[in-house]
Amino acid sequence: MEDLMGNEGGTPELERSGILGSRRREMNYHFLMSFNKQQLWLGEQPPSSMAPAVLKSQSKMLVIGASGGSMITTGLASTLINHLWFGKSLKEAIKTPVLFVDSENAVKFEPEFDNGVIKALEALGHIQKPADRFYNVVNAVEKKEGCIWAASDHRKLGEAAGY
C-alpha cells in the first residue's frame, strides 16, 4: 500500500488523514522535509516512552497514562495501588512520593518518602542511592457515578483542566 506521496508502506488511516510516515527525509503533509535528529530505525529503542491504560468496571472507568522511561512502571503501579487499594483520590495517589529501584538494584526515594519505610528497607539490606531527580509523570481521568475527575502530575507542573 502507498501513502499520499507514493511511498510504500502507507495505511488506510494515514492515507485518509494526510499524515505521512516518520522516516527521515520524507516529505510531510505540508511538503516540508522531516529533519528529526532522533529518528528511530527498525530495531532501535525510543529515547522515551509512555504507557496509556484504560481500566473499566461496572461502576467506573479510569484512563491513566505515564511517561518517564524506566520509571513508568513504578509511577503507574504506585498510583494504581494508592488509588484502587488504599482509596486515595487521583490527585493524592499521583502526588504520593515513590521509590524506584534502578538498573543497579539500588533503591532511590523521593525526598518526601516515609522515613520509616526507608529505614526498614535499609535494615533488610537494600542499598540506597541519592535520587538526583524523579521524572515519572502520571496523568489520569476517572468517570465514577456520573462525575468526571482528572489529575495531572505535579512533578512536571501539570494541572488538570476541564469544563
Q: What is the pLDDT of residues 64-113, one digit of tens each?
A: 999 887 888 889 999 999 999 999 999 999 999 998 888 888 999 988 89
Q: What are the DSSP calls for 109-155, one per residue? A: E-TTS-HHHHHHHHHTTPPB---S----EEEEEEEETTEEEEEE-GG
Cα separation, 14 vs 67, in Å, equals: 25
**Do residues 137 and 113 both lie within one domain?**
yes
Q: Quick one: which of 117, 114, 119, 159 has its CA closest to 139?
A: 159
pTM exceeds 0.75, yes or no: no
Whether the per-residue pLDDT at 20 is higher than 70: the answer is: no
**Do residues 151 and 72 both lie within one domain?**
yes
Q: Which domain, by its residues, includes 4?
A: 1-40
**Do residues 90 and 145 both lie within one domain?**
yes
Residues 6+ apart with CB under 8 A from 119: none
**Residue 162 covered by a domain:** no
User: Residues 102-150: pLDDT tens digits?
Assistant: 888 899 998 889 999 999 999 999 999 878 777 788 999 999 888 898 9
**Do residues 21 and 87 both lie within one domain?**
no
Q: Which amino acid is at 132?
A: D
- Cell 506521496 maps to which residue? 5
Annotated binding site for L-glutamate: 48-49, 69
Q: What are phi and psi of 25, to 5 degrees?
A: 65, 25
**Do residues 68 and 107 both lie within one domain?**
yes
For residues 71 and 55, the answer to whether their CB atoms sit within 8 Å is: no
**Do residues 73 and 111 both lie within one domain?**
yes
**Do residues 82 and 152 both lie within one domain?**
yes
Q: Quick one: which of 27, 1, 26, 31 has its CA closest to 16?
A: 1
Residue 108: per-residue pLDDT: 92
**Residue 161 covered by a domain:** no
Residue 103: per-residue pLDDT: 82
11-35 as b/e: b if 16+ CB within 10 A: eeeeeeeeebbeeeeeeeeeeeeee
**Residue 25 covered by a domain:** yes
**Do residues 63 and 142 both lie within one domain?**
yes
Annotated binding site: 48-49, 69
Q: What is the CATH number of the domain that holds 113?
A: 3.60.20.40
Q: How many structural domains is the chain composed of? A: 2
Please state the separation of Cα 149 from the chain's center in Å: 18
**Do residues 137 and 72 both lie within one domain?**
yes
**Residue 13 covered by a domain:** yes
